[in-house]
Amino acid sequence: MCGICGIASPDLAQPVDADLLRRMNARIIHRGPDSDGFYIDGGFGMAMRRLAIIDVRGGDQPISSEDGQVLVTFNGEIFNFQELRRDLEQRGHRFATSSDTEVIVHGYEEWGDDALLRFNGMFAFALWDRRRQRLLLARDRMGKKPLYWWHHPAHGLLWGSEAKCILTAPWVERRVEPLALHHYLTLQYTPDPLTMFAGIFQLPAAHKLVFEANHPPRIERWWQLDFEPKLRLSDGEVVEQARILLREAVARRLIAEVPLGAFLSGGIDSSIIVALMAEQTSAPVKTFSIGFSEPRFSETQYARAVAERYATDHHEFIFRPADLTATIEAVIDACDEPLADPAALPLFELSRQTRKHVTVALCGDGGDETLAGYQRYALDGLLRPYAALPAWITRRAVPAAVGILPDPAWIPEDRSPITGLKRLAQWSATNPKASLVRWGSYFSHEAKLALYTDQWRNAFAHIDTADVIATAYDEAHAANRLDRTLYADHVTYLAGDLLPKTDRMSMAHAVEVRAPFLDDWWVEWTARLPERFKVRGRQTKWLLKAAFGDKLPPAIAARGKQGFSVPVGQWLRGELRAWARERLLDNPVLHRWFRPEAIARLLTEHDSGRINHGKRLWALLLFGVWGERYKPYL
């Protein structure tokens, strides 16, 4: 696990600025505190920071082929590297290290870019082919490891694991990308390929970028998830195969030469991962959980039950930072751009505490997106009769009725029945292909237009963020609504919010997080399962409960999806009230885009306790604090 960065001049002949390359690399030392590496070849230079996990003594990068003509810097892990190494050795390749990184070099020599299809892992790498004077940048299938890039005909190409690498270059402007902000308000993250910085882009998951002299970067998709043809399996057969495949996915992620543990939330997904780890290790699994002092927001009692069942070496923390504002600022600095998912804060603290004990942690990310864990997957199907009602009922009568209902402050917003009714009103007015926006958006399209200044209300009047999700829905290689929705969530919410959140919060403290539910072979297998193995009636994630329910304490096996609720609404009425109001009402970055009186109205309504605007204000607040810290040009 590492951080990578690099520079390629426009013609690959003009010498690169070695000092700039070193400064870029220094910006991501938190991702790799163990060592660094540099390579410069005329107009090409690449660098990396290393967090040593496999082949600790001999795996420093860049790593080259036997003749030195192919070199790579790599962030991530190739989990099937041992099998690939045996295959490549049989084909005549000779390895100089025991590192998984080296299979990328020899794999490219043997199969070219098609080597990507053979890697089961999480990765972002830069590969330099000296003979062809060709740079290949690539990201893994799911988008677990990040990669940012910037290109200008006069300056060439810059890339890095985090945007801060690129921002180091003095000629890269810090300007807000308007479309990124528009989408962020609805989604809570910036969808790729955009970033909040105009001109800096994310390389999307499962894509590659090729750069050659005097040509613009060429970006191509190298893999796409297929949901067809469906597998023909009985209930018994699918349960048996699930047990084998997920156990193997966990086993592949236990390979490490450093201390290893697991994040344990108390939900079904992370509990199953811990159970499978305990079955495959001789020493007690080290587990780590975090909760809140407010019992209604905390799940630590469930995590404790799993820890007791498997006799783990359990570490439990309460999120009670001495300075909450400093934590918010640290999270923004770790992300480089606003990420309004409040769960980033406790994950940041959990990672900090975890690093005191282990370097690698397994987690339950991806269980919901592979086997349909969110209630909206079931509700979208069950509500079809409601959608067929006349529009005056679904788009007028219901919204008017629920609009007068107060939001109970004593219930977390994610679990409030009132919130559910209000989502139902929004559901009717939103593109049916955009399940995520229907059920989980912060600001509706109309709410954003009411917030903008005249200039931006006119600019965005006909740009609906729901279309971002709907486009992904239409691109899916799938035949039914559920599979198309799962695909859309894979390439938007998972790749844009959940995985960046895990990567930035953990790597801010040099912790590598591995997600067995996002194992490439598990994801491809579950995609081809018929719908009945994922959702049956109102029951979501049917297969996980059928295959692994016996490994869970009864109280956890019976639980529905809860999610990790964070009391932002309470904070904004309490300890953060004065600090947040100042940054929301007296901030030139916000005034550039939004009407101050509209923000003031949200604050007043929230303070009254009648309407919980916590997450909407949180999104605006993080954008405002980001603007203060990164100072984009207005």
- Short-list 335, 72, 28, CA closest to 168: 28
Q: Which residues are catalytic?
A: 2
For residue 417, say if its preceding peptide bond is cis, omega within 30 degrees of 0. Answer: no
Q: Which runs of E-coded beta strand occur in 42-177?
A: 44-50, 63-64, 70-78, 121-129, 134-139, 148-152, 156-160
- CB neighbour burial string for 343-354, b if at least 16 within 10 angstroms, e if fewer: bbbbbbbbbbbb
Rg (CA), the chain: 24
Amino acid letter, 179: L
- Alpha-carbon distance of 196 to 337, in angstroms, equals 6
Number of helices (H) and strands (E) in the chain: give both, helices first.
30, 17
Q: Which of 223, 269, 266 is nearest to 246 (CA)?
A: 269
Q: Where does residue 529 rank: exposed (0-12), middle (13-18), buried (19+ CB within 10 A)?
A: buried
Give the closest residue to 508 by CA, choosing from 352, 370, 624.
Answer: 352
Residues in the chain: 634
Residues in contact with 390: Cβ distance below 8 Å, sequence separation at least 6, in sequence order: none
End-to-end CA distance of the chain: 37
Phi and psi angles of residue 438, each rounded to the nearest 5 degrees, phi first: -60, -40
3-state secondary structure 449-498: HHHECHHHHHHHCCCCCHHHHHHHHHHCECCCHHHHHHHHHHHHHHHHHH
Cα dist from 389 to 28, 344, 378, 444, whole Å: 54, 39, 19, 22
d(CA 422, CA 417): 9
Distance of CA 430 to the CA centre of its chain: 24
The Cα–Cα gap between 61 and 75 comes to: 10
Distance CA 203, CA 219 (A): 8
Lookup: tokens for 162: 């985090």
In terms of Cα–Cα distance, which of 634, 312, 300, 366 is closest to 498? 366
Q: What is the DSSP letter of 616?
A: H
Q: What is the enclosing helix (H) or strand (E) of 211?
A: strand 207-212
* Peptide bond connecting 408 to the previous residue in cis, omega within 30 degrees of 0: no
Q: Is 44 helix (H, G, I), strand (E, B) or coil?
A: strand
